[in-house]
Amino acid sequence: MKIVGSLDVYYFDYYYHLKKMIEDFNLFDYVTFEIDVSFDKLLSFMRKSKVHFHPRWQEHFGISIVEAISAGLIPIVPSTGGQTEFVPSKYHFHTLEQAAQIASSAFNIPDSERILMSNSVKRFLIRNYIKGFQQVVNRLLVNT
């Protein structure tokens, strides 16, 4: 497992908590941190991955989740927050144990489902946003 992301001072305590868990459970051979990686390296990781675990509760939207889905990764997300509006409920978790079970089964999901998931986030493309915005404005102008 690779834990990939930025490390702001605000998250140092959480980072050290995770490192302590890795040490306590002797997971050095299974979990690594990739901090502030280049975009090319991030893409390389995503090409080799099948699952995107996003543990943050009450995420307001979750752009990294959309990016991961677009790349064909199966998202595993908390059962609260904005991501629940676009991630199928079978990939929502309530506990970390449940997240681990979902992740374990996600490795066997067929490519056809990954492609469907990837296509599902096209609604977030900028051109679709612009088109939808224009439609709302046009309706407002017609009704005034």
> What is the Cα–Cα distance from 54 to 136, expressed in whole angstroms?
33
Average pLDDT in the 63-74 region? 92
pLDDT of residue 144: 67
pLDDT of residue 14: 87
Q: Give the chain's mean pLDDT.
A: 91
Tell me, rounded to whole angstroms, the distance of Cα 62 from its chain centroid.
Answer: 7
Average pLDDT in the 97-111 region? 93
Identity of residue 26: N
Please check the confidence at residue 53 and state whether its pLDDT lies above 70.
yes
Average pLDDT in the 88-100 region? 94
Q: Which CATH number fits domain 2-142: 3.40.50.2000, 3.40.630.180, 3.30.420.40, 3.30.70.100?
A: 3.40.50.2000
